Amino acid sequence: MIEIIKPGTKKKISCKSCGCLFSYEKEDVEIGRPHNLYPLATESKYITCPQCNEKIELEATK
């Protein structure tokens, strides 16, 4: 019988800047201000595109 030892945790996302399609896991997510244009903006979760290094915002944190 087949059993799941650890459920899959990889998620897929596409970079809007270069079109790269890649997967990421929880440990790849960073928390901060991905765009320094608004210093008073709330922190958000983001990942960095492995091809063009664009910071891709995932969701806001409170």
**Is the model's pTM score more than 0.75?**
no
pLDDT by residue (tens digit) across 3-54? 877 788 889 999 999 999 999 999 999 998 766 666 666 788 999 999 999 9
What are the domain boundaries of the chain?
A: 28-61
The pLDDT value recorded for residue 38 is 64
Q: What pLDDT is attached to residue 8?
A: 84
CB within 8 Å of 47: residues ≥ 6 apart? 13, 24, 28, 29, 30, 55, 56, 58
Give the number of other CB atoms < 10 A from CB of residue 58: 16
